[in-house]
Amino acid sequence: MLSDYQLRQIHLDARERLADKDPAERARILEEERELRLLSYFRAVRFWQFWGPALVGLAAWVLSLLVLALSRAAAGR
């Protein structure tokens, strides 16, 4: 799996190579770049599919603790 730094480097290298290429080669390089962007997008989606429910559950738990603490504080007055 490529890191974000490696993806950025590949992107920059592709942009540098575009300057002196013919249209067919330029189209191929742009297609590679698009595939790398899709790979990065799918990595982000996979991350949120895995961690999203856990983070929502954690946020709900923290919110319930906050509501409990506030209700106890209000009842103690």
Instruction: Concatenate the DSSP letters of all residues of 1-66 into one string.
Output: ---HHHHHHHHHHHHHHHTT--HHHHHHHHHHHHHHHHHHHHHHHHHHHHHHHHHHHHHHHHHHHH
Find out whether 7 and 40 touch, Cβ atoms under 8 Å: yes
Mean pLDDT throughout 34-59? 89
pTM for the whole thing? 0.47
pLDDT tens digit sequence for 14-32: 777 776 777 787 788 778 8
Determine the Cα–Cα distance for residues 59 and 62; give it in Å rounded to an integer. 5
Split at pLDDT 50, 70, 90, the class of 2 is low
Determine the Cα–Cα distance for residues 25 and 18; give it in Å rounded to an integer. 8
